[in-house]
Amino acid sequence: MLIPLILSGGSGTRLWPISRKNLPKQFLPLSGEGTLFQQTVARTEQLPDVGAPIVVASDDHRFLVADQLLESLVDGATIILEPVARNTAPAIALGAMQAMSRDPEAILLVLPADHLIGDTESFVSAVQSALPAARDGWLVTFGIRPSRPETGFGYIRRAESINDSAYRVECFVEKPNLETAESYVTDGGYDWNSGMFLFKAARYLEELAIHAPQMLEAVRPVFESAKSDLDFIRLDKEAFTKVPDDSIDYAVMEKTKRAAVVPVSCEWSDIGSWSALWLAGNKDTQGNLREGDTIAIDTRNTLVRSHDRHLVATVGLDDVIVVTTPDATLVAHRDSAQDVKRVVDQLKASGRSEHSLHRAVRRPWGSYDSIEAGDRFQVKRIVVKPGAALSLQKHHHRAEHWIVVSGTAEVTCDERVFLLAENQSTFIPLGSVHRLRNPGKVPLELIEVQSGSYLGEDDIVRLEDVYGRS
């Protein structure tokens, strides 16, 4: 059985302010139809005789993964939640063990969730052509034929051919300087290291036992003690924290004698920066990639992305990145796009929330958007999905007013349970035990006005929660 293993643990800091810790780039619609995660899942469905995917994701993103799989009409997926990040080698080991529980001879197609591939047909063809080498015990990686000298990627040097499609890997090369990258392109024997792999699950574990035995010894009891919870497989945090942190490249691929590469040209991009997104996007006649409500005058080779109905106008710009969100704006030179992560580092160091949260925050029951705030008050727009409910909770420091804009709300307030229709409202006193539920078949939208001495999200005491949050 061919089983896709989708690695979805990245944070995407170089795509700030769109990508943030709680909503990283793989879950965003950056190019094409659907999010990068959904596009990755959709590509695997083009392969013949493919099984349901295994997804390894951060525990913080569990409901994003579940919702986006549901939107994609994917059945039977397995979602393994990492309580802490431990890089790709342990994540793939977990996926391999899970795949072998379905089929001891399973072949894993390992795919990062945040890559963009414009030519799905070539990608599918490459996977099929790599299967014979994988069945023969090779650990196959996919090398992207370089279209330019690129200093932001690692490279793979091809050796002799194994069959009509695959070559033995001579060596992996770290990110080069520009002169070296130019020589690689001229040479013709080097490919970009894509981070996509194909191999038997059992073979990967065999190689891990040889080259990183401590990692395998630490991962195996974690997998064996994992517990199912709702739609997820949860790992013990204390045990998983002890697993060595390492990538598949360093732990296995650079050490094994059975590494193979299949070259492919499939319009691939890792969307590792705003410059990469600009390169991959459909640009106008002036070389501008524009999204949203934008005006570009005397502007060339620039990425301009506006939020919602927020107009962004540029005049006299060349090679610039301009990105707006409701709570942050980025302006950078395209040549400095890799340094955007320094902004994120500074936000973290300053204790600000913009590195991790958007103004609009997604929750398993829907979302909320903090549209206004001041001294002792905050106004939120809350959307609750049909049939969903917030936790039964109370607050020590704030009271709330709820006004229904559309849909129907079922309100629990202490001993009372009642319905509110459009244009109706209610008051939730400080300290009252309350819950909001949408009993209808359409989204519930309401305006919440909070008032009190402290309005932080940590002033929530959850008494009951169907989503397993404390």
Q: What is the per-residue pLDDT across 285-296, written as a single tens digit (0 to 9) for each?
A: 999 999 999 999
pLDDT tops 80 at residue 71: yes
Report pLDDT for 41.
97
| Angstrom distance (rounded) from CA 15 to CA 155 | 23
The arithmetic mean of pLDDT across residues 359-372, rounded, is 90
pLDDT in tens, 329-342: 999 999 999 899 99
Which pLDDT band, with edges at 50, 70 and 90, does 193 fall under?
A: very high
pTM of the model: 0.89
| Angstrom distance (rounded) from CA 190 to CA 238 | 41
pLDDT in tens, 136-168: 999 999 999 999 998 889 999 999 999 999 999
Q: What is the pairing mode between strands 320-325 and 434-437?
A: unpaired
pLDDT in tens, 222-249: 999 999 987 899 999 999 999 999 999 9
Percent of the chain at pLDDT > 70 equals 100
The arithmetic mean of pLDDT across residues 160-189, rounded, is 94
Question: How many CB atoms within 10 Å of residue 245?
Answer: 14
The arithmetic mean of pLDDT across residues 202-218, rounded, is 97
Do residues 362 and 61 make contact, with C-beta atoms less than 8 angstroms apart? no
- Give 435's Cβ-side CA count (13 Å radius): 21
Which pLDDT band, with edges at 50, 70 and 90, does 307 fall under?
A: confident
Give the DSSP H/E element, type plus range, for residue 348. helix 340-349
| Angstrom distance (rounded) from CA 142 to CA 126 | 8
Percent of the chain at pLDDT > 90 equals 89
Give the DSSP H/E element, type plus range, for residue 129. helix 120-135
pLDDT tops 70 at residue 469: no
pLDDT tops 80 at residue 394: yes
The arithmetic mean of pLDDT across residues 370-376, rounded, is 91
pLDDT in tens, 406-448: 999 999 999 999 999 999 999 999 999 999 999 999 999 999 9
The arithmetic mean of pLDDT across residues 350-361, rounded, is 89
Do residues 319 and 335 make contact, with C-beta atoms less than 8 angstroms apart? yes
Mean pLDDT of the chain: 94
The arithmetic mean of pLDDT across residues 253-266, rounded, is 96
Report pLDDT for 10.
81
326's CB contacts (< 8 A; 6+ apart) are: 307, 308, 310, 358, 359, 360, 369
155's CB contacts (< 8 A; 6+ apart) are: 146, 172, 173, 176, 181, 184, 190, 191, 192, 193
Report pLDDT for 291.
93
The arithmetic mean of pLDDT across residues 246-268, rounded, is 96
